[in-house]
């Protein structure tokens, strides 16, 4: 099964995708992780991507789309995959359709996560991620803190705050971009009849783990 995770930053896309990946064996493909790795290593792609990311802007398709296409050619995607952070625009969605059509594949499910805006901002400000790129575990200092402050439970590596997570102004700009450019994707995929929308929030006491568990049960027909 081929899945797309949708939702604004801070809604828990990475967490839900990670749980589904662990339970199914389908790789979680995050363009954000790939960008950050290249930025840290100072590659040409990383430098180009950082010019946009540091301003809270989307990385151009000329950088993103070929990278995703190459990733989908790898063997671990044969049985299924979970795209986390792509596509972000209607144009990217159409290009993804073309890429998959050439492989006689399609997107089977779009999981659309929603969270009240102020809660989303607070989640991002208190988010910490594992500095080990092989681990990529995500924590929240309030809702899901590590057992030892500043240390990843899974691998013991230091936890860090992403540069683009530390400024309320930058976060608001990213959310505005999401509203204007990415939200229309919900309608695009709704017209295909494959969208499943779930609220992840303390308001209804429903967090990412609960959502992921229900989705996995649905996939397995339980």
- Residue positions annotated with a catalytic role: 13, 88, 127, 162, 174
The answer to whether 137 and 30 have CB atoms below 8 angstroms apart is: no
Alpha-helical regions (H) of 3-104: 13-24, 31-41, 44-53, 61-71, 90-101
Burial 203-218 (b: 16+ CB within 10 A, else e): eeeebbeebbeebbee
Say which DSSP state 79 is in. Answer: S
What are 138's strand-pairing partners?
A: 129
């Amino acid at each position: 099964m081929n899945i797309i995770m949708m939702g604004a930053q801070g809604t828990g896309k990475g967490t839900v995708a990670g749980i589904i990946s662990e339970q199914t064996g389908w790789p979680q493909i995050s363009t954000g992780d790939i960008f950050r790795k290249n930025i840290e290593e100072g590659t040409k792609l990383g430098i180009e991507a950082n010019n946009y990311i540091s301003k809270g802007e989307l990385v151009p398709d000329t950088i993103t789309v070929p990278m995703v296409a190459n990733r989908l050619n790898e063997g671990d995607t044969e049985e299924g995959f979970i795209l986390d952070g792509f596509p972000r625009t209607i144009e990217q969605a159409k290009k993804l359709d073309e890429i998959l059509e050439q492989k006689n594949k399609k997107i089977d499910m779009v999981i659309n996560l929603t969270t009240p805006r102020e809660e989303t901002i607070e989640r991002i400000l208190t988010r910490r991620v594992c500095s080990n790129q092989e681990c990529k575990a995500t924590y929240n200092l309030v809702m899901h803190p590590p057992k030892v402050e500043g240390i990843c439970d899974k691998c013991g590596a230091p936890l860090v705050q992403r540069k683009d997570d530390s400024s309320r102004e930058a976060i608001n700009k990213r959310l505005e971009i999401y509203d204007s450019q990415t939200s229309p994707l919900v309608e695009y995929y709704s017209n295909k009849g494959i969208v499943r929308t779930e609220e992840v929030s303390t308001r209804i006491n429903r967090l990412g783990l609960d959502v992921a568990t229900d989705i996995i049960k649905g996939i397995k027909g339980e």
